[in-house]
Amino acid sequence: MVGTGYVGLVSGLCFAEFGFETLCVDKDQSRINSIAKGVCPFFEPGLDDLLVKHLNSTKRFSLSNNLSESLKEASVVFITVGTPTKRLENEADLNDVYAVAEKISENIVNYCVVVTKSTVPVGTTRKIKEIISQKSSSDKFDVVSNPEFLREGSAINDFMHPDRVVIGTENKKSEDIMRQIYRPLYLQKTSILSTTIESAEVIKYASNSFLATKISFINEVADLCETVGADVQDVSKAMGLDKRIGEKFLHAGPGFGGSCFPKDVKAFSATAKKHNIEFSIINAVNASNESRPRRIASKIKNRFNNKLDGISIGILGLSFKPNTDDIRDSTSIIIANELNKSGGNIKCFDPHAMTNAKEILPDIDYCKSAYDVCKGSRVLIIATEWNEFRALDLKKIKELMKDPVIFDLRNIYNETEVKDMGIEYHGVGK
């Protein structure tokens, strides 16, 4: 595994769990040192335990910062480096991917399969092949696209029990090797789809973009529900019962965030544009989602006639979703920032993401618990649906807050129950 981000580290440890000898490589020596001590560089439930197990007991998992040396031993090399959005452009930045391909081209000793697992635009794996071909003969390697579909927060389970595995190859030899690697999943009846390399690359972006579209769709329906007296939760439940639609990813909220959807919808559209195809739906999804957290912040400001000066606002949840400390493109950070700029006194709490949040939002107050946030606050915003925020003691909240107003951006409370407590309540799409 080249790259020890979510995909690389989780996949490396899960392949070790399957029984393979796995080596994770990263150019960042301090990151490697910390992982070698059993400390994951990010919070992911269950990953620390898996790391300690494979470092100490099975010894099937090792680490290195020397890519050239590591490549000499590998029969399969997974490229799992980041592909962030380029600065000032919507395209994916592939510099790290191509740098790894260069290294591979210089260091292949025995035949190996080079697998793109990073999310890369269609055409990238062919380009990797071209780069490697410049210094290695074509019988020494094959390229494969094997996109990853794991979610942060449930990454191990998603890896071990995926809905499908996609393997894009151009010959039987590399396909057979990949099928052997995923044999433990095949034995548990996971669908393993063989496609062309191009199809595999498109499948990844099309899947993420479609899920993002579902979210933006229901978010706009939620806006309508708010104005016409409908309830978006009833609407999405009834829609989801239609098997052609499906219930997943129809939860209205503050917009999608994280390190994948926002960057992938942009990159997918940028790829289409390069091929003279205008992705009007994806572009609309991107625009709708980019404006959403600010519109939510405006709604909160409007409640106070756009005068937030001196108003104490508590925010629960800073990560882009529960069970992660990842704050990349987190809507809750955008909302916190907007309200802070508008003069609100912001207090917040997140079970795992406060260390990361402090780096980009240093001038707000960080509290020790959800109730600590409530103390003396006028407004409480539930921004991320961590389990521990789902059953807060409303009576206690009412006592701790001053004339409380709750904005439940994830619809995790029952509107009637909260209102019956004498608390002003605003859900999403209600």
Contacting residue, 215, 300, 361, 400, with ligand UGA by CB under 6 A: 215
Contact 111, 75 (CB under 8 A): yes
Count the residues of the shown chain that bind ligand UGA, applying the rule CB under 6 A.
Answer: 20
Query: What radius of gyration do the chain's Cα atoms show?
Result: 23
Which of these segments, 107-115, 185-193, 255-263, 387-395, binds ligand UGA (CB under 6 A)? 255-263
Q: Applying CB under 6 A, which part among 34-42, 88-96, 245-253, 350-358 lies near ligand UGA? A: 245-253
What minimum distance in Å lies between the beta carbon of 45 and ligand UGA? 13
Q: Which is nearer to ligand UGA, 140 or 151 (CB)?
A: 151
22 and 12 in contact (C-beta within 8 Å)?
yes
Q: What span, in angstroms and rounded, lies between the C-alpha atoms of 385 and 404?
A: 19
CB of 340 to ligand UGA, least distance (A): 20
Q: Does 92 bind ligand UGA (CB under 6 A)?
A: no
- Across 191-235, the runs of DSSP E, i.e. the strands, are 191-195
- 261, 268, 349, 389: which one binds ligand UGA (CB under 6 A): 261
Check binding of 208 to ligand UGA (CB under 6 A).
yes
- For 84, the 3-state DSSP assignment is coil
The string of DSSP codes covering 327-369 is -TT-HHHHHHHHHHHTT-EEEEE-SS-HHHHHHH-TTSEE-SS
260 is catalytic: yes
Residue 32 or 166: which CB sits closer to ligand UGA?
166
Catalytic position from the list 24, 40, 225, 260: 260
Residue 258 touches ligand UGA, criterion: CB under 6 A? yes
In this complex, which beta carbon is closest to ligand UGA, that of residue 53 or of residue 151?
A: 151
Under 8 Å between Cβ of 351 and 387: no
Find the shortest distance in angstroms from Cβ 151 to ligand UGA. Answer: 4
From 27, 86, 127, 151, residue interacting with ligand UGA (rule: CB under 6 A):
151
Residue from 20, 42, 98, 149 that binds ligand UGA (CB under 6 A)? Answer: 149
Which position among 1, 47, 200, 260 is part of the footprint of ligand UGA (CB under 6 A)? 260
**CB of 70 or CB of 289, closer to ligand UGA:** 289
The CB-of-43 to ligand UGA minimum distance in angstroms stands at 13
- For 132, 133, 143, 319, the CA distances from 127, given in Å and listed in that order, are 9, 10, 10, 35
Q: How far is the CB of 421 from ligand UGA (least distance, A)?
A: 26
Instruction: Give me the 303-322 binding string for ligand UGA, x by CB under 6 A, dash otherwise.
Output: -----------------xx-
Indicate whether 117 belongs to the interface with ligand UGA (CB under 6 A): no
- Alpha helices, H only, 108-196: 124-133, 155-160, 172-181, 183-187
In sequence order, the 6+-apart residues with CB closer than 8 A to the CB of 91 are 85, 121, 266, 267, 270, 271
Torsion, Cα of 167, 67, 50, 81 (10° steps): -50
Options 62-70, 179-187, 244-252, 270-278: segment touching ligand UGA (CB under 6 A):
244-252
Distance CA 203, CA 207 (A): 6
Cα 97 to Cα 100, 118, 120, 175, 296: the distances in Å are 5, 8, 9, 22, 37
Query: By the 8 A CB rule, do 347 and 373 touch?
Result: yes
CA dist., res. 191 & res. 182, Å (int): 10
- Say whether residue 371 binds ligand UGA (CB under 6 A): no
Q: Give the range of 72-80, 146-154, 174-182, 414-422 binding ligand UGA by CB under 6 A.
A: 146-154
Min CB(216)–ligand UGA separation in Å: 9
Return the closest-CA partner of residue 98 out of 129, 71, 58: 129
Q: Is 366 in the site for ligand UGA (CB under 6 A)?
A: no
Distances from the Cα of 135 to the Cαs of 71, 76, 129, 141, in angstroms?
14, 18, 11, 11
- For ligand UGA, the closer of residues 103 and 321 by Cβ is 321
Residues with a catalytic annotation lie at 260
Residues found near ligand UGA in the complex (CB under 6 A): 119, 148-152, 208, 211, 215, 249-251, 253, 256-258, 260-261, 320-321
